Amino acid sequence: MPHVQVGNDVDSWCTRCKLVLAHTVEAMVGEKITRVHCNTCGAQHAYRRHPPGERAAASDRRPQSGRASRAAGGAGAGSAASYEALVRGRDAATARRYTAAERFAPTDLVRHSTFGLGLVIKVKEGNKIEVLFPDGPKVLVHGR
């Protein structure tokens, strides 16, 4: 993507119009577009490069940031192989059922009703945890 800055126009999925339309960039974090507003209907929302459910073509994808890799302490930690390596040797019977009211610590095993068995990677912002599941990391609330 060419250099973009606040005020530039970009194509984005509009959550109100339900189409990919021209939007104006309102906010960025570093070089990542975070907020846009639709030039057609005026709706303000998060930047969505593609319609929901549609994945980018292989040539259109940006390389992964490696955030999940660093969070779990190794290269490719977001992959299924890394998940298996981190969970190997752990007793799944010791996994605690996930609820938002429970508090968790790094290395705790968690059983989530939707995502399955996961491993807490780290605590974020005091009330959030990053959990590595077979399909990748998820951020969940805890201690509420």
Radius of gyration of the chain (CA): 19
CA proximity to 107, closest of 78, 136, 73: 73
Do 21 and 81 share a domain, yes or no?
no
Is the pLDDT assigned to residue 103 strictly greater than 90? yes
Query: What is the model's pLDDT at position 135?
Result: 86
Q: Could you tell me if 39 and 10 lie in one domain?
A: yes
Average pLDDT over residues 90-118: 92
User: Does 87 lie in the same domain as 54?
Assistant: no
What separation in angstroms does the CA of 28 have from each of 1, 11, 107? 14, 15, 33
Sheet holding 136-141, edge to edge: 96-97, 109-112, 116-124, 128-133, 136-141
Tell whether 43 and 100 lie within a shared domain.
Answer: no
3-class state of residue 82 by DSSP: helix
Pair (58, 111) in one structural domain: no
Give the residue from 133, 14, 139 showing the smallest Cα distance to 77: 133
- The 10s digit of each residue's pLDDT in 54-88 is 665 444 445 444 444 444 444 344 456 788 888 88
What Cα–Cα distance (Å) separates residue 20 from each residue in 10, 16, 35, 39? 10, 11, 15, 11
| Mean pLDDT score across all residues of the chain | 81
As for how many domains the chain has, the answer is 2
Average pLDDT over residues 49-57: 70
Check which CATH number belongs to the domain holding 14 and give it. Answer: 2.30.30
Same domain, 72 and 45: no
- CA–CA gap between residue 144 and residue 136 (Å, rounded): 24
Q: Which of these three, 20, 41, 62, is where a domain ends? A: 62
Q: Are residues 25 and 76 in the same domain?
A: no
pLDDT category at 109 given cuts 50, 70, 90 is: very high
Identify whether residues 47 and 25 lie together within a single domain.
yes
Q: 12: number of CA atoms within 13 Å, CB side?
A: 26
Whether residues 33 and 94 fall in one domain: no
Same-domain status, 79 and 24: no
Whether residues 74 and 16 share a domain: the answer is no
Residues 87 and 41 in one domain: no
| H helix runs in the chain, sequence order | 67-72, 80-87
Q: Which domain covers residue 20, as residue numbers? A: 1-62
Query: Of 47, 62, 77, which residue constitutes the final position of a domain?
Result: 62
